[in-house]
Structure 1
Amino acid sequence: MYVSSDFERTLQIWTSYPSASGAAPDYQMDLAIAPWDSALYETIFVLAGRTDIAIWTTLPATTDYSPDEEYSGSMGSVVFDEIRGVALDDTYLYIADWNSQAVYMWNVSEGFDGLTDPDHTLALSYKPTRLSSDGSVLSVTDTFNHKAELYRIDDLVISATPTPRSTVGGVGTFNLPEQVLISNGQLFAADTSFSRVAVWNSVDTALAGAGHDLLLGKSNEMDRTPEVARDKTFWPAAMCYDGATLWVGEFKFSGRLLRFDKPVP
């Protein structure tokens, strides 16, 4: 398990899931970059933030900072301004640039060496933050408009101006969500300032516009107070899910990393 910090510029590495609270990482790597987001696909791990991208093609398990590929400042004609999101699947590397209001897509099915101009660009009317892809659907989080847009990746490939298939959240429903994650057929929304995680048991129901099936960290829809307790959440922001275990990283004042097992009722 990998946990990155942009503020501390570190990557903490557990070689297996911690079995008890407060377990120290097996390794802590000092980074040369300040990553805002990360992506993992099979044995490939990517960190990205500010104007930098670091790529490991084999999973790092050391204290030494030695990525296999690095890009700083630009890739081809794309000049990075403020990277806030990265996603990776079996075909594409996706980078969200906050100030450029765009998501860039590179076909990396043949590798990461010598990447130049993106294969596709999604121009947006807002500043995108964290991304997530399952190879079929791309989630683009729009934190300051309190929502995320869901795109079919096939639509991004065939159209320069694709329309999202669905939107989750919105003003009054979410409050400054930091990430909407798609993984193992489910969808999870870190509804950060309402201090809860919304769960859809199926990505398809989210695409169809249905509401969430479950809330984690809160007992009911109106409970929106940040709390530090075993069954509560305080500003959840970043997540990962392997099909059985959901990990939730909290933002700023808590500093906790929470484990939820089998979060499907």
Structure 2
Amino acid sequence: MHSVESVVPTTPTWDPRQYLRHSGHRTRPFLDLLARIPHLPAEDRPARIADLGCGPGNVTALLADRWPDARITGYDLSPDMLELAGKDWSGTTRGGGRLDFRSADVAHWTPTEPHDLIVSNATLQWVPDHPESFARWIDGLHPGGTFAFQVPGNFTAPSHTLLGELCDTPEWRSRLGDQGHRSVHVLEPADYLTRLTGLGCEADVWETTYCQLLQGEDPVLDWVKGTALRPVLTVLGDDRDAVDAFLGQYRALLREAYPPGPHGTVFPFRRIFAVARRKP
């Protein structure tokens, strides 16, 4: 049994290398979001851009590809993510712009200067009441500036419901508490649209379900080790026996829910997108 009482950390630790193992699939939604972002209001000056929840910096670098003369700052709360981002991407861009990374809690971040673009990729689902921050972020935009984000919308998928159910079993409940239940922070697309238009923005909100074909043994488990499983793995920490026991049980559930096919394992993943432009 592994139901020993323990102190539950409130902030998960992150493994950048694990997160990047599926970087192709994880990057595609950001590219789809980026394609819908309109021209920025900066014309005779470099654009000012913020990436909230930049992670390892790989998608922040895509912003520099789109706006090579911009001043871009990626913000994250994970020291491990920031260390890798700074190592791989910090510095002057090929177009003379500047890309840097800073520690910040997205839940409390407020622009200290006008921005042309504030963007967030697969981060706001970790931020309780994040729609309450929309007003101050939009107020921090130049007229004609854009606030854009995408969040997972797959919290009713087996990958998440099975995790929550396992955490809630007698064996794990006292140790893991609600670590498997983190779906309450994401709104439905229509609700995001209502919020953003209510703040005076021209808003485009949509959803897409990506039917991802994953390769390898237990690929869905490998995927969630980089995201949804982080709170659980953080709580279990260095208790190797508990980690192995939990992963073994969760692996069996995922194998039944996502059986491999002849060409790989299909892992449907719904995502919600929003692009809101502050009126000039």
Answer whether TM exceeds 0.5 for this pair: no
TM-score by length of 2: 0.28
Which has more radius of gyration?
Answer: 2
Higher helix residue share: 2
Higher strand residue share: 1
